[in-house]
C-alpha cells in the first residue's frame, strides 16, 4: 500500500497551497471580493477503503465537478461542495442584487467553471512537476442526493486505485466555504507523483519558492 | 478606437467576464461557445483578435487555433486557459498563439496583452 511520509505530505501540501493560493488571489481580484484560503490538508486513501475512510470526508457534499485527465499520469479529479458553499462561491461572480440564496442553473454554471480552474490548476501543477503533458476532459457537473460521487470515476482495470484527497477551505464574504478535491489515481500514477514530489522537495526550485 | 474581438469559450461565465473587461476598454466583442462556431464566426467577421479557451467540448482549443491559421495566416489569437502546464503554453506558442494567459483572468494582464498584440503587424 502506498502512503505519503511526512516530508512528502509537507511538500505536496506546499505545492498545492501555492497553486490554489494563486487561483484564490485571482478569483478575489476578478470578483473584487476578499477570498481567504486556509492551508489545504492532503491525504492518500486506498479507493477500496473509500466507504470507510473517505466516506465521512465526502458525505456532506451535494454537488461535484468531475474532470478526467490522461497522459503519462491519468485518473479522475473531482471537486465536491455542499449546496450552501456552492451558492456562496457563485455569488462572488454576480452583481449584489442578483445574488441567490439557492442552488440554481447559474450556480451550477459558475461552480463548473470555478471547479475547472481549481482542478486544472492542481492537475497542471502535477504535469509541470512531472515534466509531462496531461490532457483534460471538459468539466462535468453532477448533482447527487445519494452522495455517490465516485460512480463516474474512470480509472479502472486491475490496478489498485488510490484517492489523493485535498481539503481546501475558503472564506468568502466572511463565510466559511469548504470544498474537497478528490484525485483518483492508479498505483503507477501515484508512484510517479510521489517520486516527483521527492525530487522537487530536494531541488533548488523548492528552496526558491 | 476599439477593436473587434472574438471570445471563444464554452463557459458563459468566462465569456461574460472577458467581455466585461474588453468592453470596458472600448472593444467590440462577439462570442462563440465552441470551436465550430468560432471558425464560422472568424470567417464571417474577420475579427482583429481572438481570445481562445483550450479545453472545450467538440474541438479542442489547439485544433481550433490550427484551423484558424489555415483560414487566415495573419490571425491574431491569444489563448486563455485554466491549464497552467508549461507544455500547454509551449504547444500553443508553437501553433501560432500570440499570447497565453491563465485563468482566472487578471484584468490588467488581459488588457496589456490585447493591446500589445493589436499593435503587432498582422
pLDDT band for A185, please (50, 70, 90 cuts): confident
Give the pLDDT confidence score for residue B47 in this predicted structure.
97
Beta-carbon contacts of residue A62 (< 8 Å; ≥ 6 apart) = A81, A82, A83, A86, A103, A143, A144, A145
Q: Which domain holds residue B82?
A: 4-119
DSSP states along A165-193: EEEEEEEETTEEEEEEEEEEEEHHHHHHH
Question: Which residue from A42, A47, A39, A37 is spatially nearest to A9, judged by alpha carbons?
Answer: A42
Task: Nearest by CB to A26, from B10, B83, B106: name it.
Answer: B106
Give the pLDDT confidence score for residue A30 in this predicted structure.
75
B84 interaction partners in chain A (CB closer than 8 Å): 19, 120-121, 124-125, 128
Does B8 or A10 have the greater pLDDT score?
B8
B98: left (phi over 0), alpha (psi -120 to 50) or beta: alpha
Cell numbers linked to A115: 471547479
pLDDT band for A9, please (50, 70, 90 cuts): confident
A204 pLDDT more than 60:
no
For residue B78, the domain's CATH number is 3.40.50.2300
Is the peptide bond between B10 and the residue preceding it cis, with omega within 30 degrees of 0? Answer: no
Q: Would an 8 Å CB–CB cutoff place B8 in contact with chain A?
A: no
- Nearest-neighbour CA in chain A from B13: distance (Å): 6
Cell numbers linked to B24: 470596458
Beta-carbon contacts of residue A188 (< 8 Å; ≥ 6 apart) = A159
Give the pLDDT confidence score for residue A209 in this predicted structure.
37
pTM comes to 0.82
- Counted across chains A and B, CB pairs separated by less than 8 A come out at 67
Give the pLDDT confidence score for residue B81 in this predicted structure.
93
Give the pLDDT confidence score for residue B117 in this predicted structure.
97
H-assigned helices in chain A: 6-31, 55-58, 83-90, 105-130, 187-201, 204-208
How many domains are contained in chain B?
Answer: 1
Q: Would an 8 Å CB–CB cutoff place B109 in contact with chain A?
A: no
The neighbouring-strand residues paired with A43 are A165
Average pLDDT for B24-51: 97
Beta-carbon contacts of residue B83 (< 8 Å; ≥ 6 apart) = A120, A124, A136, B54, B55, B102
B57 interaction partners in chain A (CB closer than 8 Å): 138
Q: What is the pLDDT of residues A66-112, one digit of tens each?
A: 999 999 888 888 888 888 888 988 888 888 888 888 888 888 999 99
A12 pLDDT more than 90:
no
pLDDT band for A146, please (50, 70, 90 cuts): very low
A207 pLDDT more than 70:
no
Q: What is the pLDDT of residues A44-58, one digit of tens each?
A: 887 765 555 556 666
What structural domains and CATH numbers belong to chain A? 6-208 (3.40.1550.10)
Amino acid at each position: 500500500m502506498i502512503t505519503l511520509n511526512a516530508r512528502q505530505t509537507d511538500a505536496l501540501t506546499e505545492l498545492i497551497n501555492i497553486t490554489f493560493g494563486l487561483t484564490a488571489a485571482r478569483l478575489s481580484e476578478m470578483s473584487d471580493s476578499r477570498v481567504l484560503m486556509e492551508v489545504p490538508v492532503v491525504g492518500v486513501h486506498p479507493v477500496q477503503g473509500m466507504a470507510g475512510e473517505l466516506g465521512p470526508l465526502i458525505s456532506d457534499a451535494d454537488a461535484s465537478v468531475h474532470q478526467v485527465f490522461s497522459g503519462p499520469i491519468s485518473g479522475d479529479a473531482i471537486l465536491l461542495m455542499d449546496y450552501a458553499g456552492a451558492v456562496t462561491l457563485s455569488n462572488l461572480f454576480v452583481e449584489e442584487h442578483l445574488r441567490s440564496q439557492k442552488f440554481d442553473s447559474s450556480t451550477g454554471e459558475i461552480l463548473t467553471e470555478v471547479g475547472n480552474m481549481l482542478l486544472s490548476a492542481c492537475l497542471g501543477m502535477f504535469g509541470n512537476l512531472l515534466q509531462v503533458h496531461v490532457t483534460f476532459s471538459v468539466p462535468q457537473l453532477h448533482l447527487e442526493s445519494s452522495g455517490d460521487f465516485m460512480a463516474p470515476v474512470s480509472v479502472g482495470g486491475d490496478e489498485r486505485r488510490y484517492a489523493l484527497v485535498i481539503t481546501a477551505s475558503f472564506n468568502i464574504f466572511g463565510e466559511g466555504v469548504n470544498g474537497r478535491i478528490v484525485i483518483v489515481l492508479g498505483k503507477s500514477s501515484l508512484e510517479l507523483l510521489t517520486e516527483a514530489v521527492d525530487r522537487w522537495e530536494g531541488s533548488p526550485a523548492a528552496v526558491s519558492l | 478606437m476599439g477593436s473587434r474581438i472574438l471570445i471563444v469559450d464554452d463557459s458563459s461565465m468566462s465569456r461574460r467576464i472577458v467581455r466585461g473587461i474588453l468592453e470596458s476598454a472600448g472593444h467590440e466583442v462577439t462570442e462563440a461557445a465552441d470551436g465550430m462556431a468560432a471558425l464560422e464566426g472568424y470567417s464571417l467577421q474577420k475579427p482583429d483578435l481572438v481570445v481562445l479557451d483550450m479545453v472545450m467540448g467538440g474541438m479542442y482549443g489547439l485544433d481550433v487555433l490550427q484551423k484558424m491559421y489555415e483560414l487566415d495566416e495573419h490571425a491574431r489569437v491569444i489563448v486563455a486557459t485554466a491549464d497552467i502546464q508549461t507544455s500547454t503554453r509551449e504547444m500553443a506558442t508553437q501553433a501560432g498563439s500570440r499570447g497565453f494567459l491563465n485563468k482566472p483572468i487578471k484584468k490588467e494582464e488581459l488588457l496589456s496583452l490585447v493591446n500589445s498584440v493589436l499593435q503587432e503587424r498582422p
